Amino acid sequence: MITSSSSSRNQRAFIYRAGVRLAGTVVACDAAAGSDLVFLSHAAVLGARGRRALPRVGGSRRQILATEATLSLLGPFGDRLRAQALVAPFGRPFALGDLRLEIFPSGFMPGAASLLCERDGRRIVYAGPVGEGYELRAADALCLDARFATRQIVFPARAAAEESLRRLARDGAMGAAPLLLIEPLALAPVIARVLGSAGVPLRAHRAILDAVAAFREVDGQSTYPTVQRFAGRLTENEALLWPAEARPPSQGGQVQARRMVFVSPRVGSAARLRLSGADALTFPFGADFDQLARYVEATGAGEVALSGAPDDELAELLRGRGLDAYRIGPPRQIDLFQAA
């Protein structure tokens, strides 16, 4: 294991202060306070508290760097940010003082992006959360969203997870219409798209209706299905989508044998819900331990900051490969993305 001295730590590319910051620059990433330029990697990153704080902090000099899709998914809040937003397309580098910046697809959700910052010949990448369809950039220093960086979480192949969802829907044809408790909320439009493409009629909580509508507007009208609002009744061939954090609906109505299934990338939360009578389905959303390790190797980075990592497992693995790997975040590793 490599142990860095105090002086080497001071030279690291990333520091944490109300978000990840690129040391020695005016750039902060997914931060709710301070700095002159705040890069938002995706629309769900800050949660309600961060959205309230962001426009008030920093004065007139502050700018928000984001994609057009991210601002659109933020709804009215995104509209308020447009006056101070620097909207950048993927793959078109631009200069900011002595910095050369480029945003490129992270694959996490519509509009989600990673940021490359080049300065004095050094390539620094804030990747944020990465998902299917991400692009890579070579990096000297890399910061990753590592919320799922534990060996206890192993994502199934996407095709297998989608087939499991379709099997749940087929159960509805046999009188056990599924109630899918989904976490995080940003996963709900993905679940709706998979089931809608299989011809499953869907009803949902209002928050999920709004999320699906926003994704449909940004990502193409034909990509996401029409979802009906749940008004207390569910027929046997329908599936009900519900935020896991919301109180589940009562078991009354037309369907008496409703199957409750927790759908999430978080197996720990799923285990707790099993105790209360819910089944669990792990659905990939982001990158798990092995996927993150492969991503780091592909970038060639020698310094790796892990944001939101639940423990030191991945950092220790990377240090064993000779990298300067470390966890970064607030005290107790409070998950910046927990409201995503």
Q: What is the DSSP string of 129-178?
A: S--TT------SEEEEE-TT-STT--PPPHHHHHHHHHHHHHHHTTT--E
239-243, strands of its sheet edge to edge = 228-229, 202-204, 239-243, 178-182, 259-264, 279-282
Quote the tokens at residue 313. 């497992």
When pLDDT is cut at 50, 70 and 90, the band that residue 340 belongs to is: very low
Cis peptide before 248 (omega within 30 of 0): no
Cβ atoms of 215 and 241 within 8 Å: the answer is no
pLDDT digits (tens, 9 = 90+) for 116-131: 999 999 999 999 999 9
Note the pLDDT of residue 32. 75
To the nearest whole number, what is the mean pLDDT of the chain?
84
DSSP H helices, the chain, are: 6-10, 47-53, 68-73, 76-81, 158-172, 188-197, 206-219, 267-274, 289-299, 313-320
Q: What are phi and psi of 52, to 5 degrees?
A: -70, -35
Note the pLDDT of residue 2. 33
- DSSP secondary structure, 249-261, as one string: PPS-SS-SSPEEE
For 36, the 3-state DSSP assignment is: coil
If one compares 80 and 10, the residue with the highest pLDDT of the two is 80
Cβ neighbours around 290 below 10 Å, total: 15
Note the pLDDT of residue 237. 81
> If you average pLDDT over residues 176-185, what whole number do you get?
86
> If you average pLDDT over residues 12-33, what whole number do you get?
90
pLDDT digits (tens, 9 = 90+) for 62-109: 789 999 999 999 888 888 888 889 999 999 999 999 999 999 999 999
Provide the angle, in degrees to the nearest 10, between the axes of the packed helices 188-197 and 158-172.
70
Quote the tokens at residue 191. 């679940």
The pLDDT > 90 percentage for the chain reads: 58
Question: Parallel, antiparallel, or unpaired for β 94-96 and 85-87?
Answer: unpaired
Quote the tokens at residue 95. 């200069």
Note the pLDDT of residue 335. 45
Q: Classify the C-alpha dihedral 26-30-34-38 as positive or negative.
A: positive
Burial of 149 (0-12, 13-18, 19+ CB in 10 A): buried
Burial of 59 (0-12, 13-18, 19+ CB in 10 A): exposed
DSSP letter assigned to residue 211: H
Q: What is the pTM of this model?
A: 0.86
